[in-house]
Amino acid sequence: MAPKIKLSGFSNFDITPFGTFVRVRFNSTYPVVPVVSVGLGKPTKKTATGLDFEKTQLVSATFPLFAGPQTVHEVIVTPIPPNSELFLLFKGKDHLYSIRKFRSKRRRLDVHFGTILMNDDSDDLGDGEFKFGFFVDNNNKPQGKSLRFPGDGSEISIGTGKTKTIDVNAIVFDSDFVTLSTTGVDNDDDPSPFSLDTEGIVSATNPNAESGSNGGWEWVSGTQTVLVDFTGEEEAKTVPFIINAKSHNVDLHFQVTGTVKISYV
């Protein structure tokens, strides 16, 4: 028979959720080394030491052993999943316990495509004339507006060895990683490569463009995956990336640099 569970001896809870961790300050009625656990769903399992999470519920746990028994406590529990409804279980000696519900913050990713370095414009007589498309997780319109440069559908002249500053941005949520891609089309003729695939020439905003050429046209694509699932107090940061758009099929070669800013809301 499980022991009778006493009323809570924990009080003055100050729970501060982040994305991948939760900071908790609280008091106990007498000195204890508390065990603080986070789980999915309210703990209902009765054990010899009181309530607990089932194994399938338990997410993370901690106990400030080196601090020794205290009545004023502060702990950080990590890792926890972002954007989730979770439960905190506080346990001490003599079956002292308390339960609190909270929600972790949602991961936000601000993607910024910042520069284009033209390694080879594939044009022996002058600077190449380009249109560029950009993709977040293979989506050219993650917020409904096409990610392209120039933004008005015109062309931009960039020669070999030159760098162009751009400002193409997108916001996405929740992923543990994000796949970023770009396609550049060198346009020596003039059907718009932003409208649709015509005469065997791909659109710069076609996510399946890969690389190729047709007459005076060349196009090439590149992809880079950026990990964003940092945990604990280092969860929020800005991660740089480089996309190398190059193929053995064509001479055209360029690189796009940018950043992914990770925050929690």
Top-confidence residue, 202 or 203? 203
For residue 59, what are the domain limits?
Answer: 10-103
- Do 257 and 129 share a structural domain? yes
Q: Higher pLDDT residue, 139 or 200?
A: 139
* SS3 of residue 41 by DSSP: coil
Q: How far is CA 238 from CA 80, 135, 138, 165, in A?
A: 20, 19, 21, 19
Write out the two tokens for 184.
């550049």
- pLDDT of residue 220 exceeding 90, the answer is yes
CB proximity list for 106: less than 8 A, separation 6 or greater = 19, 82, 83, 173, 174, 264, 265
The average pLDDT across 106-127 equals 93
Q: Which pLDDT does position 120 carry in this prediction?
A: 95
Are 129 and 248 members of one domain?
Answer: yes
Contact 48, 5 (CB under 8 A): no
Domain at 40, CATH number: 2.60.40.380
pLDDT of 29 reads 87
- Burial (CB < 10 A; 0-12, 13-18, 19+), residue 21, is buried
The b-or-e profile of 29-56 (16+ CB within 10 A means b, else e) is: eeebbbbbbbbbeebeeeeebbbbbeee
pLDDT digits (tens, 9 = 90+) for 183-198: 999 976 544 555 544 4
Looking at the fold, whether 123 and 57 belong to one and the same domain comes out as: no
pLDDT for the residue 30: 86
pLDDT in tens, 18-45: 999 999 999 998 899 999 999 999 998 9
**Mean of pLDDT values over 148-165:** 93
pLDDT-based confidence at residue 199 (cuts at 50, 70, 90): very low
Q: How many structural domains is the chain composed of?
A: 2
CA dist 31 → 34, 63, 66, 205, 250 (Å): 9, 14, 14, 63, 71
Sign of CA pseudo-dihedral 135, 179, 233, 100: positive
Are residues 124 and 230 part of one domain? yes
Round to the nearest angstrom and report the end-to-end CA distance of the chain.
Answer: 45
CATH number at residue 167: 2.60.40.150
Least confident segment among 133-147, 160-174, 205-219: 205-219
User: Which of 188-197, 222-231, 232-241 shows the lowest mean pLDDT across its residues?
Assistant: 188-197
